[in-house]
Structure 1
Amino acid sequence: MAEATPTTQKKLTHWPRTAKGGGKKACTVEGCKRPYRAKNYCFFHFKQWRQGDLPHSRYRTCSKPECRIKTFKAGLCEKHHGEAFKKDAA
């Protein structure tokens, strides 16, 4: 009789980078043709989004031009809020 060998399964050491939508939908970043993974970004651009490197950050940013710091109050970062609503020290 032939002895049956048990099938070995390879254990995943990391989460697989699988595309959603069967790979039919592309990343929304202009010029990127990779299939999207989450938030309509491919795995590469999703990682950049999480780190805050893309224009659409994961939190609300200061409304001042060229300032991408997280908002503090009234749509401004702590620095710009302090400048805009400075109390007169008389």
Structure 2
Amino acid sequence: MAEATQTTKLTHWPRTAKGGGKKACTVEGCKRPYRAKSYCFFHFKKWRQGELPHTRYRVCSKPECRAKVGPKAGLCEKHFAETYKKDAAA
């Protein structure tokens, strides 16, 4: 009789480093192997969320504002409304 073989089904992709683990993350002080966009899995997640200097999207041109840019003027929706509603009211 044939033996039944057990196989385990993965529920998600395993985190594997690219480059055989020889390349390190480009964030200063991080020694984890890189995964994508020259970041390790931890910093890649931070990049996707917009928490690193080189963000995934264009960000507002106002100082200290890291919000995603709206369709006009290089400003987020909040700063666009503040800037142009003042001009329209005057």
TM-score (norm 1): 0.82
1:76 aligns with 75
SS in 2 for 1:85: helix
Instruction: After TM superposition, give the deviation of residue 8 of structure 1 in Å.
Output: 2.7
Q: Is there any run of 5+ residues in structure 1 with no aligned partner, and where? A: none
Of structures 1 and 2, the larger Rg is shown by 1
1:50 matched to 2:48? The reply is yes
2:64 aligns with 66
Give the Cα separation in 1 of the matches to 2:33 and 2:25.
6
2:38 aligns with 40
Q: Is there any run of 5+ residues in structure 2 with no aligned partner, and where? A: none
Identity over aligned pairs, percent: 77
1 or 2, which has the higher helix percentage? 2
CA RMSD of aligned residues (A): 1.8
Instruction: After TM superposition, give the deviation of residue 6 of structure 1 in Å.
Output: 4.5
* Count of residues paired in the alignment: 88
Q: 2:21 aligns with which of 23, 26, 39?
A: 23
